[in-house]
Amino acid sequence: MLEAYPHNTLARILLWSFAALAMAFLMLPTLVVVPLSFSASNLLEFPPNAYSLRWYENFFGSATWMAALRTSLILGTLTALIAVPFALLACISMNRLGGKTATTIQSILLTPSITPGILLAIGLFFVLAAQRLVGTLFGVLVGHVVLAVPVACIVLLPALARFDWNQVQAARSLGANWARAIGGIIVPQLQLSLLSATLMAFLTSLDESVISIFISSGRNSTMPKLMFLSLRDQIDPTIAAISTLWTAIVVVVVLIVTLRQKS
Amino acid sequence: MTVTVDTALAADARRERRFFLSLSLPALFIVGLAAILPILWIIRQSFLTTGGEYTVGNYQKVLSSGLTWSALVTTLELSLGTLAICILLGTPLALALASARPRVANVLMAFVMLPLWTAILVRTYGWLVLLRRDGLINAALTGSGLTAEPLPLVYNFTGTLIGMVHYMLPLFLLPVYAAMRDIDPNLIRAGASMGATLGQVIRTVIMPLSAGGIFSGSIIVLIYTIGFFITPAVLGGGRVNPLSTRIERTLTTFQDWGSASVLGILLLVLMALIGVMLLAARRLLAQNTVDAPHA
């Protein structure tokens, strides 16, 4: 973009050293926890004097953490399984209706993602309290689904826009009902986008913290809730191990999604 | 004959529209259940006593409390502070990325997006480790002799602001980077060939053409930061109390549902006000870009 200014070396150096600093700022907190998670000491010394896997053992050996991991994985899976079909149907509906109706539906579906998490959390808390459902998996699940639907829509809407609807028309004229047309034509052709949407919905649920903190409790506490509580009390290196595992998993998932989309 | 076919076709089209509309119902239902109903419930709860009777006492109590107003001020300070730093850091970074070769830019963007993919609590933990009194940054500062004493970098406003900027910077960067990438390089070449310096080109070509992106980025920053909870709750260490953490404390520590709801409504009002101001600002911005050629 700035090729027209090949001789402004000083400006270029300044700009890039600034950019390098900003990027270091962005990556530092994610990277710093990795060596700490392998430390042998419970002091957060950097670099660690001796290395061990004790914090990983601590995590996998703790009944509380394992219960939270189980809760989070179940929640993430259920969220993806509910949110993606809902989002797919809504996207088909928006794609076919078009115009003002589609815009209205889209803005309603996007509302939860711009509403502060704390408002959704306390509102949901009141609603669930009235039904005596606070602390149940169901309560957190509806909260996560409502946040995952827009995320899935963002992936699926552009994919549907590229879809050739004549195929559905043909199938319908040959006597296929809508369920068949969707299951037999749309779903197989959107496979990759559906996979991305599923992974993104899963990650949305896994990372969601505020609703979890207010609604989940006891055995149904999620990973973010337990991490939040332990960060408030003390800085336990077990969290470094969890953070490292978590980031590794997310990086793998994101790599799968982006590489598959490119191929 | 044609009339009956037409009406039949119209009826068919209507039926199909109704069918397509019905496909949105599951998603709309869940939004109603898990987002709209909860917000309405907050409004209802704000008018109820603990015993469940109608009252305006919650409003009197919350609005006459100094804590509420200081929470409001803290909320605005955090949001606007984050916005200012995002613009200062993000705009040059976006310019650097946009001026890089596409291949390099793609790789660098992946690194910029890394924090976006890192769980919020993982990042918060990372900052705690870095910013603590005996953390990495203070060790580096005292070790190199830059400061004699470790600086108070966390469990205060500074730490909260650092955490919030870190969260928002990639989200701010995306629209700015996209806007800068879309600038026609010929405009810059034209500027250069007419003798404009790099500074002039940045001021008169690149910045005006990126204004839309910076504006979108700013909206995103304001919308997100106004209700930020995790970062102030952890990195603020109880000393930084925007509306969000005050809502939490009122609800869980004091069990005062009514007051917590009033605070929630204050947050909603604040969001609505910001929304209105942004719409007005966008209209002004649009007018200015239309007027620009005549000026």
β-pair partners for A51: A39
The confidence band for B204, taking pLDDT boundaries of 50, 70 and 90, is confident
How far is residue A221 from each of residues A139, A145, A181, A212, A218, measured CA to CA in Å?
A: 12, 17, 40, 7, 6
Residue B206, min C-alpha distance to chain A (Å) = 10
User: How confident is the model over B99-125, as a mean pLDDT?
Assistant: 87
The tally of domains found in chain A comes to 1
Q: Is A179 on the interface with B (CB under 8 A)?
A: no
Q: Is A39 helix (H, G, I), strand (E, B) or coil?
A: strand
Q: Is A226 on the interface with B (CB under 8 A)?
A: no
Contact B268 A125 (CB under 8 A): no
CATH number of domain containing B242: 1.10.3720.10
Residue A23 lies in a domain: no
Instruction: Give the pTM.
Output: 0.90
Residue A39 lies in a domain: no
Residue B14 lies in a domain: no
Contact B35 A115 (CB under 8 A): yes
The 10 Å CB-count burial string (b at 16+, else e) for A219-234 is ebbbbbbbbbebbeee
Contact A122 B39 (CB under 8 A): no
Q: What's residue A122's pLDDT?
A: 95
CB A220 within 8 A of CB A135: yes
Report the alpha-carbon distance of residue A46 to residue A233 in Å, rounded: 21
Residue numbers in B near A33 (CB within 8 A): 122, 125-126, 129
Of A16, A105, A243, the CB nearest to B96: A16
User: How confident is the model over B272-276, as a mean pLDDT?
Assistant: 89
Helix, strand, coil fractions of chain B, as percent rounded to 5: 80, 0, 20
Report the alpha-carbon distance of residue B283 to residue B279 in Å, rounded: 6
Residue B52 lies in a domain: no
Contact B125 A207 (CB under 8 A): no
Residues in chain A: 263
Per the model's pLDDT, the better-predicted residue between B202 and B38 turns out to be: B38
Residue A57 lies in a domain: no
Interface of B with A in 102-121 (CB under 8 A): 108, 111-112, 114-115, 117-121
Q: Is A169 on the interface with B (CB under 8 A)?
A: no
CB B46 within 8 A of CB B264: yes
Residue numbers in A near B37 (CB within 8 A): 123, 127
The alpha-carbon radius of gyration of chain A (Å, integer) is 23
Range of the domain at B86: 67-290
Q: Is the pLDDT of residue B131 over 70?
A: yes
Q: Is A18 on the interface with B (CB under 8 A)?
A: yes
Q: Is B141 on the interface with A (CB under 8 A)?
A: no
Phi, psi (deg, nearest 5) at residue A51: -110, 150
CATH number of domain containing A171: 1.10.3720.10
Residue B22 lies in a domain: no
Q: What's residue B143's pLDDT?
A: 85
Q: What's residue A1's pLDDT?
A: 72
Q: What's residue A261's pLDDT?
A: 66
Residue numbers in A near B188 (CB within 8 A): 1-2, 4
Sites in chain A below the pLDDT cut of 70: 261-263
Per the model's pLDDT, the better-predicted residue between B293 and B108 turns out to be: B108
Contact A112 B127 (CB under 8 A): no
Q: Is B69 on the interface with A (CB under 8 A)?
A: no
Residue A187, min C-alpha distance to chain B (Å) = 15
Report the alpha-carbon distance of residue B2 to residue A239 in Å, rounded: 73
User: How confident is the model over B218-227, as a mean pLDDT?
Assistant: 93
Interface of A with B in 49-78 (CB under 8 A): none
Alpha-helical regions (H) of B118-197: 120-131, 136-143, 157-181, 185-193
Q: Is A215 on the interface with B (CB under 8 A)?
A: no
Report the amino acid identity of residue B89: L
Range of the domain at A116: 67-262
Residue numbers in A near B20 (CB within 8 A): 92-93, 96-97
Residue numbers in B near A224 (CB within 8 A): 119-121
Q: What's residue A262's pLDDT?
A: 64
Q: What's residue A263's pLDDT?
A: 60
The confidence band for B293, taking pLDDT boundaries of 50, 70 and 90, is very low
The confidence band for B169, taking pLDDT boundaries of 50, 70 and 90, is very high
Q: Is the pLDDT of residue B197 over 90?
A: no
Q: Is B14 on the interface with A (CB under 8 A)?
A: no
Q: Is A181 on the interface with B (CB under 8 A)?
A: no
Q: What's residue B232's pLDDT?
A: 95
Residue B80 lies in a domain: yes
Q: Which residue of A has its CA nearest to B129?
A: A44
Residue numbers in B near A89 (CB within 8 A): 23-24, 26-27
The tally of domains found in chain B comes to 1
Q: Which pLDDT tens digit goes with each residue over B11-70?
A: 888 888 899 999 999 999 999 999 999 999 999 999 998 888 898 999 999 999 999 999
Residue A13 region, left (φ>0) first, then alpha (ψ -120 to 50), else beta? Answer: alpha
CB A211 within 8 A of CB A140: yes
Tokens of A206: 């896994």
Q: What ipTM did this prediction achieve?
A: 0.89
